[in-house]
Amino acid sequence: MNLFLAGVQGFIIAMVLLVCELIYFKIAGKYNIIDKPNVRSSHNYITIRGGGIVFWIAAILYAAFAVAGERATSLHIPFLVGVTLIAAVSLWDDISSLPNRIRIIIHFLSISLVFYGLDLYSVLPWHFILAAYILFVGILNAYNFMDGINGITGLYSLIVLIALQYANRKYLFTAPDFIHYAMIACLVFLFFNCRKKAKCFAGDIGSMAISFWIVTLLLQLMLKTHSVIWIMFLAVYGVDSILTIIHRLCLKQNIFKPHRLHFYQILANEKRLSHPLVSFLYATIQLLICGLIVRIHVAHPQHEILAAIAVSLLLSGVYLLKFR
């Protein structure tokens, strides 16, 4: 019966998110919140921008049900305020570009709220907290940079969330619904986005909101297990982002400007592979890595660092194929 009720609840949440997404499409069409292709785009048609607002709506629904069911923790309000700040500034940037410094300030503020909700300031020394700021704000922006073809944000995020839910069954680091709601939002978004011709793009609001959610979950898992190996749940995105930044610095380019040098962009644009196929490849490789990391952590925790280095080197070798 509990499984049945969970399925009914999930279906209702999905339908609510679906309706909200359709309403947003009407609003976006009326106010011209669209993405127009340019020479650096990986698409050639006008598309609704900001469809990833469904992730923020899912976060609102989760927090509301948690409070109503008296299941709220000290993290819920800081997370809700943080994801709302991230979503607001990102939607603003989708509609009218904002200076980088304003966005970065909001990113740090939002991460600070999560740190506060998890009592991180009293748990970790200052130099670890500083490193955590750099790491997690970097992840937020890398996630945004990687959102460039149909399906990639939704599929990749869904795989990471599935891996987090599996880890949660072993370590119980968060409420299962905190992951379920994000997974449902991914499925709803993918229905409109993972197509040859997408109905909508995530926009900054989508990539930033879901990455903020995933960062929060990863931080909870790290604190519960006292291990940072779980950062490898984002290994594919991480290697692509870091090596692309290095490549662009070597070319003396502004790393904050749009470009077409990510490996997935090479596959989609130069190699002419379909967007859903490239997105599926990225998600599948990350799924395999997640499975390996879980197995290593359970069976051979002493080899975690070695495994992380080996995986990173292997991914780096694959990335270098883009220069062939």
Q: In a 3-state reduction of DSSP, which class is residue 272?
A: coil
Q: How far is CA 82 from CA 57, 116, 279, 295, 318, in A?
A: 13, 11, 28, 33, 36
Six-digit token pair at 38?
């340019």
List the chain domain ranges.
Answer: 33-323
Query: pLDDT in tens for each of the 324 residues of the chain?
Result: 466 667 788 899 999 999 999 999 999 988 888 877 665 566 667 889 999 999 999 999 998 888 776 676 789 899 999 999 999 999 998 888 788 889 999 999 999 999 999 999 998 899 999 999 999 999 999 999 999 899 999 999 999 999 999 999 999 999 999 999 999 999 999 999 998 889 999 999 999 999 999 999 999 999 999 999 999 999 999 999 999 999 999 999 988 788 889 999 999 988 999 999 999 999 999 999 999 999 999 898 999 999 999 999 999 999 999 888
pLDDT of residue 5: 64
pLDDT of residue 134: 95
CA angle 37, 40, 44 (to 5 degrees): 30
* Distance, CA of 157 to CA of 283 (rounded, Å): 8
